[in-house]
Homo-oligomer: A and B are copies of this chain.
Amino acid sequence: MRRSEIEGSYRDIQDRFCSALEALDGQSYFSTDRWDRPGGGGGVTRILIGSGHLEKAAVNFSAVFGSTPSGLSDSVAAGSSEFYATGVSIIVHPHNPNAPTFHANIRYFETDSGARWFGGGADLTPYYLFEEDAKHFHTVLREICDAHPVSDYGEWKSACDSYFYLPHRGEARGVGGLFFDHHATDLEAVWDFQQEFGTELVRAYLPILERRVDMAFGEAEKRWHEVRRGRYAEFNLVWDRGTRFGLETGGRVESILASLPPTARWEYVHEPPPGTRERVLLDMVRSEPRDWL
């Protein structure tokens, strides 16, 4: 596969996901910001700010190239002087606390020293636990993996649990999903996997969204939502490698931080009482990762 083919596929995935979200929301639409990167390349940031089912969604495409940044050259791009990176990242923050936040990313990277790899993943962050949602999400991910021998649901599911973890809280971010990185062998096979994975994200998430967005909730649920959104902000700002790399190397800040929740709240020692739905969620994220299938 060539860069132009990858970029075309990524743009398709971006468009399809945005259209599917707009259809579900029914009243808000994505705006489009095209931007150039001073060092080379650029991107298309699509943002939906809504007053309906979706409070904030960001579906970002970028394809950037140029001199390898110094932070990068220490690790994956060792020995290179030029790099190229393209990817799509998706984040959806629904308004209803019963509807989970969704995040996904697919990416491709190469350097002039010959490195080439794919990475990506998807994970789900509920504020109230519906086991059937976690099961649906993992079932779709597992089906995609089963159709592509190059992938490994078990390993990538564990990698996701390890990555989306807040060590300072001793909490998982949510119910996990898939995570793979620096996949540099069987590139054609990974590329086939990634195309199906990108296309199937709609099927992995939207049915969950559909059955939660009309559920009743009140101020107490929204408050809990915002406390947990605080954890989401903590993960992205303190631990997420992509966010930190972007902020430290001068990426486009509004695109990088579009993943942050629209609102957040920090309450001192907020521990929900036993027997509440909030407690169930908290106990789950503080326990060992589950096999949802």
Contact = CB atoms under 8 A, between A and B. Distances in A.
A258 B178 CA distance: 33
Contact of A257 (B47, B263, B266): B266
A253 B49 contact: no
A82 B138 CA distance: 48
Interface residues of A toward B: which range? 20 to 34
Nearest to A254: B269
Contact of A266 (B167, B169, B262): B262
Interface in A153-177: 167-169
A260 interface: yes
Contacts of A226: 263
Given A234-B237, A237-B238, A268 B49 contact: yes
A287 to B, nearest CB: 18
Interface in A226-244: 226, 230, 233-234, 237-238, 244
Contacts of A254: 268-269
Nearest to A260: B266
A82 to B, nearest CB: 24
A86 to B, nearest CB: 22
A266 B269 CA distance: 23
Nearest to A270: B254
A37 B254 CA distance: 39
Contacts of A244: 238
A80 B244 CA distance: 31
Interface string A253-288: 110111011111111110000000000000000000
Contacts of A187: none
Contacts of A58: 268
A261 B257 contact: no
Nearest to A237: B237
Q: Which of A233, A250, A263, A266 has the most CB of B within 10 A?
A: A266
A60 to B, nearest CB: 11
Nearest to A269: B254
B267 A49 contact: yes
Contacts of A23: none
A42 to B, nearest CB: 16
A247 interface: yes
A261 B266 contact: yes
A263 B260 contact: no
8 contacts: A226-B263, A233-B233, A237-B238, A238-B244, A238-B247, A254-B268, A262-B267, A263-B266
